[in-house]
Structure formats: structure tokens, C-alpha cells
Amino acid sequence: MVISRGFHGRRAKADDVLTARLPPGQHPTADFPVLSAGATPRMPLDQWTFTIRGAVDRPVTWTWAELRALPQETVSADIHCVTKWTKLGTVWTGVSLDTLLAEVVTSARYVTAYCDGGYTTNLPVADLRGGKAWIVNGYDGAPLAPEHGGPARLLVPHLYFWKSAKWIQGLELRTRDEPGFWEMYGYHNYGDPWKEQRYSGD
């Protein structure tokens, strides 16, 4: 039997690249599991709005048409669920939070994302700036499906995926941090997958 050293070398290199993209404790999946805290809401687009409010100079609201008229970016990112699956190379379309936050003046350091259905999650404002977060309305070249958070969801791919809130309706800027839905039930306040910050105390 002849063993090709070149073949094994290429395989090892591919495996190393895959491993480098997987945070500790994660495994890759080709599927896109649907995990939600409640029923899937279905918001008519002519009623949908997105608002930035709270500790800002003035609240700002966009309709669906106004949001879609803003510059759209295509984002390729790996996403990591706290339940230990990772989906590599997902492709999204949406508006950068840098674009939206540029419309308000604030010194707030924290934000609560709030959603249709009552779900909330908290993040530092710094994690929404600098090309790190988007309001996405498309996935894999198609409109974002309701079960995955459509018509629009928050995308913050460098944190565990529960921070990428589905069915987003707006952001509440805050001077003090306040835990969101899963954070109140024992999930980690920040949720860095590379540090395995799954639950409080991790």
C-alpha cells in the first residue's frame, strides 16, 4: 500500500484550520438549529420599526423601508451557540450598527437589545461598534426567515449566539448594565465563546 505524504499533509493543514476556528468545547454543524425562548412572531413589514432610545440625545426610529435604504453590507462569519454547535462561514446581509449609532449622541456604555415577544439581552456598547455588529435582514442570499429571527435580527458573531437577538425591535442605551432574559436565568453576562463564558461564574 502506498501512502501519499502530500495527501496527509494537506488534510492535516485543513484540520488545523478548522480547529483554529472552533472555540473550546464547540463542534461544527452543517445544519442551522432553531432555538427560541418562545413562539415565533411574524411582524408585517409595514408595521416593523427599529428604535434606538434611552440615554441618547434623542430617540431615532427607522421603518423597514428606511432601514433597507441604508447601506447594506454582506458579512461572512462563524456563529457559536452556547449549546456547543458552531456553524462556519454563514453569510448575512444587513446594516452596520456603526451606521445606526452614528445617528445618536450618547455616552452610554451599555445597551439592552429588545425584541418582539419580550426577549432582551445586554451588551457593552463597545461590542456593537467598530464593525463588530449588524442588524441583518438577509441570510444566505435570501430574506431572513422568521424562525431565524426575521424580518431582522441583531448579529454579534464574536459572542455566543444568544446575544444575537432575534426579532429585534430596538436598542435601549443605558448608563448602567442590566441583565437580559437569559442572563437573569444564569447565562454569562458577556458570553465570549473563546473563554467558554456560557454560564454565570464561568
Q: How far apart are CA 151 and CA 110, in angstroms?
A: 25
Q: Look at residue 16 and tell me if it is in a domain.
A: no
What range does the domain containing 159 cover? 24-30+45-195
pLDDT reported for residue 175: 97
Q: Are 77 and 134 in contact (CB under 8 A)?
A: no
pLDDT reported for residue 107: 97
Q: How far apart are CA 90 and CA 78, in angstroms?
A: 6
Q: Look at residue 15 and tell me if it is in a domain.
A: no
pLDDT reported for residue 38: 67
What pLDDT tens digit does each residue of the chain (202 aa) get? 333 344 344 444 556 667 789 999 999 999 998 876 667 888 899 999 999 999 999 999 999 999 999 999 999 999 999 999 999 999 999 999 999 999 999 999 999 999 999 999 999 999 999 999 999 999 999 999 999 999 999 999 999 999 999 999 999 999 999 999 999 999 999 999 999 999 998 8
Q: Look at residue 14 and tell me if it is in a domain.
A: no
Residue 57: helix, strand or coil by DSSP?
coil
Question: Which CATH number belongs to the domain containing residue 95 in this structure?
Answer: 3.90.420.10
Q: Look at residue 37 and tell me if it is in a domain.
A: no
For the chain, what is the domain count?
Answer: 1
Q: Look at residue 141 and tell me if it is in a domain.
A: yes
Output the pTM of the full model. 0.90
Q: Look at residue 162 and tell me if it is in a domain.
A: yes
Q: Look at residue 10 and tell me if it is in a domain.
A: no
Q: How far apart are CA 109 and CA 127, in angstroms?
A: 10
Q: Are 107 and 125 in contact (CB under 8 A)?
A: no
C-alpha cell recorded at residue 175:
448608563
Q: Look at residue 6 and tell me if it is in a domain.
A: no
